[in-house]
Each structure stands twice: as C-alpha cells, then as structure tokens.
A and B are shown apart, each in its own frame.
Chain A
C-alpha cells in the first residue's frame, strides 16, 4: 500500500488555498447554466418558487393527503413533503452535477495544471447553493406559517454533515465516471430507486413493518428525518445526528481515498 498519494486533508486544504479558483468554478457552474438566457441567475429563484407554488396547489387543493401531526409535527402534507424534498434535491442534484465534473472538463484537465479536487467540490457546492435558494424560500414560507423556532440553527449542522456526505460520494463518482462512463447513467437509476426508498413522499408509518428498518436506516432517510424533526417539531435526535456525522466522515474518507488513488490516471484516460 502506498500511502504517499493519499492525504485525507488534501481536498480541504486545496479548497482553502485555491478559494479564488473555487469561486471561479462556482460562478462558471452556476452562471454557465444560464449563460445567454435573459433572466440569467434569476432562474435559480424562479424555478424553486414555481415548484413550491405548484406543490402547494396540488397537495392542498387537489390531492388532499393527510399526515398526522403526532408523527410529523404537521398535518399539512405539503409541508411534510417539501421539508423532505428540498434536502433530497440538494443531495441528488449534487451527485448528478458532480458525476460528470471530471469527464465534462477533460479539456481543462488535459491542458492546464490545477487542483482537480476542486471540480467535484464545486459541483456539490453549486448544487447546495442553487437548491439552498429553494430551501431558503421554503423556510421563508414556513416562517410565514409560524413554524420558526431557534432550534432551526441546528440545520446548519445537518446541512454540513449532508454536504460532507455528498462530497465524499461526489469524489468517488466523478473519478469512477472517468474510467466507466456508464456511471452517469447508472447513477440516474440508483437515485430514482433511492428516492422512493427514502421517506420523502410518504411518512415512515405507511411502510410495512418488515421494510421499516431498511428504509429508516438508509442514510438519506436519516438526514431527512433530522431535517423534518428540526423544521417541524423543533427537536433533534442526537443519536441520529451522531450516526449521520459518522456516515459522512466514512463517505468522505472512502471518496477521497478512491479519488486520490486514481487521479494520476485522469490525464491518460481523458
């Protein structure tokens, strides 16, 4: 085992040292998506706002599903759903953006020397920012509905853990995609299955007892439970938080290990 290439702190250090470049990448990721469009980055607000409005309309007026306040802290399905949906979107968008972050930038990697670790990181960051805007809009709506509580500041902790969790996976996926382009397509399917295996559009109580343990221990399920508890019930399950933090650290270590092991071959393959 050669450990010389494997420095666990490296991606964090590079991100700090090359903060300026990271910013340029972020600008490129976010602005590049809207380059040439008239509203530009305004779309990052318009899209989630439209989403929220549509969901409110559907779930409050058309599909009048009820959840119990005892289990979820609210009896309005739309609040239950969106408080799980935004964290999920943040996560799945982070993975979808990062998986191709190396392959799509092959012209950079093969021509310029720069810290490649920044590419998956910037993808995860930009997903967090873009979807964070949506989450922010949703939080504003919750405030209007009178849900605000000081425990909301714990959200920062949960988001940070989820960010690290996604970052580790992003490193592994982006490097894996260099060698196996199919990763991107496979990820699409995996995320779809993962979405339905996570209690986003249904409360855990609807799941048959025999499956409940599996669903409840799925990492994203834990994150979303944490979000809902804090947002709607204003309390935090400490054991769950420790668990998710541990998972995040494991994801980060494995992802960075995989990334640094394969990075020297990027130039050859791309």
Chain B
C-alpha cells in the first residue's frame, strides 16, 4: 500500500497589485491577481519504508512541494493523499520561542505536533540526549547557535515517532558529526518501515538515503525514478550548463571530415548494454560493449583503432588504442565491425561520450573520428569521485 500519493499537484502563487485585493478576492471569489505557477503536474507515490529525494536548483519548487506535503501550504489543484502522522522539519527553528529555554520549547513544539505532556515527558530525555545540548537545554533559545537550534529541531522531529518524516535542507547547518548522526537516524527510520521525504543539495546525502528521487526544474518534474539515475542526469545537466561553450564544440555528432573521403570511414558507433542492445543509461559495474562499424573506401587499408571515454567538457577520462595494446595493425576491407569491451564499467554517475578514432599504421595521423551522443553512467557506489577503483584497506588495529 502506498503511504503518500500525490496526483498532479500544482501550486500557483497569486501576485496582487495591492495587498487588499487578496482579501477582496478571498471574500467575493473573483480573480484579482496575476498567477505565478511554481509547481506543475507533480505526481508520485511512496510506499511505506521508502525514501524520496527531492533535488533541483534553487527556486525549482522543492520547498513549495515539501510545504504542501507537510500541509502548511494548500495545493492550488491536484490531490494529495497521506496516511499516518507527518513530522516536518521545514526550516530552522520551526516554532521555537526565542525567550523560552530549550526544554520549554520541547514541550511547546511537541504539543504543536499533537502530543500531550505525559508523552513528551517520556521522550524528553531522548530528545535532549540526541541533540547533545548539555546544560544549554536550560538556557533560552536565543542564545543558541544555528547548529544547536537545528540539532534540537531535528531531535524533536525525529523523536516524536512520526510515520512520515519530511526534512528540508536542514542538515546543511550541522557539523559533519551531527550530519552523520542524522543520516544514521534517518536510515534506522527507513529500516523501521517509515517513510522519508528528503530535500538536499548534497547529492551525496540524497544518494545515500533515498531510493527514489524527483528532479524538479522550474516547478516541473524533469525526471523521477531511481535515485542514482536522477542524480546522474541532474549532475550531467549541471555540468552542461556550467560549461555550455565547450559542450557545444564537442557534442557534435558530425565528425570533422575533410573534403577528400578518408580511407576508412567510421560508419556507426553503438554503445551496448548487458543485453547487447543500444542503451542510453549504463549502470556502474555492468558490462559495456562499444560496437564500431567501419567501411573501407579503397580496397584495403592498414591501421589502428582507438576508443576514448570523454566527459562533456572535453576532458578525456580514459582511452585505449589497439597499437598500444600490442595488437597487429588491422586490415580494413569493405564493411567490418570491431568491439571494445569493458567487462565492468567503473565510471561514477555522470554524462560521458565515446570517441572512436581510426589512425594509420603508425598512429601518426587520424584517418577518421566519431563521437557518440552522450550516454549516462549511473553510479552504484556511495564513494565519491568520478570512478570506482578497486582497492583494499588496511586500517590500524587497536593494540592490546
């Protein structure tokens, strides 16, 4: 059974020329505004125990979506079905009274969430312990640092035992230690079969926590599905936008060809996935084949083949040339095909292109060159960096 079902959520902010117009409209129900759509057609469903990541640029509508899910905003159209108690950590200091002590605020905040005194009393100790506030719990909130406020807010939101937890970019102000603690708590939430909706700019945290993700772009769902895939696409898009000029020059599918037909023409380059079929997404550690079809324009030509993996910004990640692998020169005649096989693709999430090159016997001259359309690698490992490198660890053991 689904615990959260959102169908076609839309949010429209109404821009009024004068504040009083809003009041008049609310009463007589005739439009007196200019509409600004910040969310359009957002649909998704979440089963119990699933974690949904929400990613996207600033102003893409992430916070609006989370506020609608938490119930502090009403969607303009669309339906939202939520089962169970929701605890939301939307912004910092949610509902804290600056003059009251941390302890008094625990009571105020938890009763806002529908708890009565005896229930809070039972959890008081756990909340204080998790927040690591020590004696500060007896001082007014106004004396807290932003990290301390966040710790207390997160501690309350998660200790009240909700069925659905909504966290909006709150972990950003915490130190590394507390972030890890929060991630740990959220992970155990998931294991306990609770549903989490998490929004962050840290792709690492989203990748670590979320099964599914939604990428919001200008209020529209650009992509949703498997987290690693969504992150990969999002990162690819970021890269493309931060480097538009270089992207233009290298993504061209038209290989630079002279006016004279080369001796060997690269007809086609296909990137094949595990089933031997052309794919756009490649999972990390899966088998990848690059199938190169060449046609010799003359009777025969001796040369070498090269295959390179390039990032959209033109940086070469890896390249291999048959000559360097100790292979004899290839004799090209007629139409032939060659395969370049990667048994276990190590690339982390991102966009890549395959560049294929035919060179002469001495690899001094490029005869023909072709770059494929970009494909997307989908990382499977939480480790950072651009590729997986096999390794081992030897860590010091505690001496007795």
Q: Name A residues whose Cβ lies closer than 8 Å to a Cβ of B.
A: 18, 20-21, 23-24, 28, 32, 35-36, 107-114, 176, 179-181, 258, 261-262, 264-265, 267-269
Complex: how many Å from CA A268 to CA B90?
15
B26 at the interface (CB under 8 A from A): yes
Complex: how many Å from CA A110 to CA B66?
11
Q: What secondary structure prevails in chain A residues at the interface with B?
A: helix
B94→A111 contact, CB < 8 A: yes
B-side contacts of A24, CB under 8 Å: 107-108, 111-112
Q: How many Å from the CB of A122 to the closest CB on chain B?
A: 12
Selecting from B14-22, B44-52, B350-358, B383-391, the interface stretch reads B14-22
A-side contacts of B97, CB under 8 Å: 28, 32
Most buried by A among B26, B70, B71: B26
Q: Name B residues whose Cβ lies closer than 8 Å to a Cβ of A.
A: 13-14, 19-20, 22-23, 26-27, 67, 70-74, 86, 88, 90-91, 93-95, 97, 99-100, 107-109, 111-117, 140
B27→A261 contact, CB < 8 A: yes
A105's nearest neighbour on chain B, judged by CB, is B95
B-side contacts of A267, CB under 8 Å: 67, 72-74
B108's nearest neighbour on chain A, judged by CB, is A24
CB within 8 Å for A112 and B23 given contacts A24-B107, A268-B13: no
CB within 8 Å for A262 and B23 given contacts A110-B67, A111-B88: yes
Q: How many Å from the CB of B197 to the closest CB on chain A?
A: 14
Q: How many Å from the CB of B49 to the closest CB on chain A?
A: 23
| CB pairs A–B below 8 angstroms (9 shown) | A32-B100, A108-B112, A110-B90, A113-B70, A114-B114, A176-B23, A179-B20, A265-B26, A268-B13
Q: How many Å from the CB of B122 to the closest CB on chain A?
A: 15
B-side contacts of A32, CB under 8 Å: 97, 99-100
CB < 8 Å neighbour of B19 from A28, A108, A111, A179: A179
- Assuming A108-B95, A111-B72, A114-B113, what are 20 further A-B pairs, CB within 8 angstroms? A20-B111, A21-B111, A24-B111, A32-B99, A111-B94, A113-B70, A113-B86, A114-B112, A114-B114, A179-B22, A180-B23, A261-B27, A262-B23, A264-B74, A265-B22, A265-B26, A267-B73, A268-B13, A268-B14, A269-B22
Complex: how many Å from CA A209 to CA B126?
70
A-side contacts of B73, CB under 8 Å: 110, 267-268
Q: How many Å from the CB of A59 to the closest CB on chain B?
A: 37
Complex: how many Å from CA A155 to CA B320?
95
B95→A18 contact, CB < 8 A: no
CB < 8 Å neighbour of A36 from B27, B86, B99, B108: B99
Complex: how many Å from CA A113 to CA B88?
9
Complex: how many Å from CA A35 to CA B107?
16
Q: How many Å from the CB of B105 to the closest CB on chain A?
A: 10
CB within 8 Å for A179 and B26 given contacts A32-B100, A109-B72, A113-B71: yes
Q: How many Å from the CB of A241 to the closest CB on chain B?
A: 32
Q: How many Å from the CB of A40 to the closest CB on chain B?
A: 12
A20's nearest neighbour on chain B, judged by CB, is B116
CB within 8 Å for A112 and B19 given contacts A18-B114, A35-B100, A179-B26: no
A21→B19 contact, CB < 8 A: no
Complex: how many Å from CA A119 to CA B115?
17
Complex: how many Å from CA A36 to CA B104?
14
Pairs of residues from A and B, 6 with the lowest C-beta to C-beta distance, nearest first: A179-B23, A35-B99, A111-B94, A113-B71, A267-B73, A20-B116
Most buried by A among B72, B73, B91, B117: B72
Q: How many Å from the CB of A175 to the closest CB on chain B?
A: 9
Q: How many Å from the CB of B9 to the closest CB on chain A?
A: 14
Complex: how many Å from CA A20 to CA B110?
11
Complex: how many Å from CA A176 to CA B27?
11
A36's nearest neighbour on chain B, judged by CB, is B99
Most buried by B among A23, A36, A179: A179
Complex: how many Å from CA A69 to CA B112?
52
Complex: how many Å from CA A264 to CA B125?
36
Complex: how many Å from CA A233 to CA B364?
117
B-side contacts of A112, CB under 8 Å: 72, 88, 90, 94-95, 109, 112-113
A2's nearest neighbour on chain B, judged by CB, is B29
A111→B95 contact, CB < 8 A: yes
A111's nearest neighbour on chain B, judged by CB, is B94
B-side contacts of A28, CB under 8 Å: 97, 100, 108
B-side contacts of A176, CB under 8 Å: 23
CB < 8 Å neighbour of B90 from A18, A111, A264: A111
Q: How many Å from the CB of A70 to the closest CB on chain B?
A: 48
B76's nearest neighbour on chain A, judged by CB, is A268
Q: How many Å from the CB of A183 to the closest CB on chain B?
A: 10
Most buried by A among B70, B88, B95: B95
B67→A21 contact, CB < 8 A: no
A-side contacts of B117, CB under 8 Å: 20
Complex: how many Å from CA A36 to CA B70?
34
Complex: how many Å from CA A258 to CA B108?
28
A181→B74 contact, CB < 8 A: no
A-side contacts of B14, CB under 8 Å: 268
A18's nearest neighbour on chain B, judged by CB, is B114
B-side contacts of A18, CB under 8 Å: 114
B-side contacts of A110, CB under 8 Å: 67, 72-73, 90-91
Q: How many Å from the CB of B13 to the closest CB on chain A?
A: 6
B25's nearest neighbour on chain A, judged by CB, is A265
Most buried by B among A28, A181, A258: A28
Complex: how many Å from CA A127 to CA B90?
32
A107→B95 contact, CB < 8 A: yes
Most buried by B among A109, A111, A269: A111
Complex: how many Å from CA A18 to CA B88?
19
Complex: how many Å from CA A24 to CA B86?
21
Complex: how many Å from CA A110 to CA B67?
8
Complex: how many Å from CA A237 to CA B74?
48
Complex: how many Å from CA A111 to CA B153?
12
Q: How many Å from the CB of A261 to the closest CB on chain B?
A: 6
Complex: how many Å from CA A258 to CA B95?
25
Q: How many Å from the CB of A18 to the closest CB on chain B?
A: 7
